[in-house]
Amino acid sequence: MTPALQKMWISIAAMFFMAISILLIYSSRYKFKGFMKGITAFFAYLLMIVSGIIIIFVVLSGPTNG
């Protein structure tokens, strides 16, 4: 697998993490109460931070030759 293709799959995984975090944030705000609200919000923001770091890495690593 070429480096460009690897970066594509990594960025798609980051977008998937962002979509999951959106669903978890919505669930934690409007569907859950108490302990579950805190757990889902924690995982949602954790996924959002991880996906942001991944996207920053992909963007700052620059273009590939392949």
Residue ranges in the chain whose pLDDT is less than 70: 66
Q: For residues 5 and 13, what is the distance between their CA atoms, to the nearest angstrom? A: 12
Q: For residues 27 and 39, what is the distance between their CA atoms, to the nearest angstrom? A: 11
Q: What is the pLDDT of residue 26?
A: 95
pTM (two decimals): 0.84
Length of the chain: 66
DSSP string, 13-25: HHHHHHHHHHHHH
